[in-house]
Amino acid sequence: MNTPIGPINPGHPPEIQALPQTGISEILGLVELLKSKGGKEDIYKLAAELKMELGDTLAVIRGAELLGLVHTPGGDVVIEPIGEKISRSRINARKNLLREQIEKLPVFHALISFLKEKDDHQATRDQLLEKLAELIPNENSEQTFTTLVTWGRYAELFGYNDDSQTFYLDSGK
């Protein structure tokens, strides 16, 4: 929350960041709510109005910010044009728009290249957790993994089979 990500500078290798534990529905709900409020709200007021834990609310805002849908100047959360566009779109159009945002995240880039080097473009859960620990040291890899699976499935970039614990590039894309 304290480090707004800002635009990615093409001159420097983008910093790979941990993903907050939050789902797609919450993020979509946030941009829809912001749109209905004229695009801007105080973060603490928002958490109180939603009757959600502040920590959970912050995770949703952090997720939306990573995806470029909102920014957080001071104690406010403000919708970005792409967030506004997503809030106005229908189910499948918003899925496409959000996929484009998810694809831009450096951690997705890193894992797509990692999987492409693997046989069958897949890795076990343990291999992936190891890779995440290497990419994002000092962060909870399990949490990032959970969000990667959720966002990756939604964007149809990654698939995950929990029976075989295999993580793979989604060829459906």
Q: Which residues of the chain form contacts with another protein (CB under 8 A)?
A: 23-30, 32-33, 36, 49-52, 56, 60, 90-92, 94-95, 149-150, 152-156, 159-162, 170, 172
- Compute the least distance from the CB of residue 65 to another protein, in Å: 15
3-state secondary structure of 71: strand
Could you tell me the smallest distance in angstroms from the CB atom of residue 44 to another protein? 15
**Beta-bridge mates of residue 77:** 41
CB nearer another protein, residue 114 or residue 154? 154
Judged by CB, which is closer to another protein: 32, or 139?
Answer: 32
**CB-nearer residue toward another protein: 15 or 25:** 25
* Cβ 29 to another protein shortest distance, Å: 3
Closer residue to another protein in complex, CB, 17/166:
166
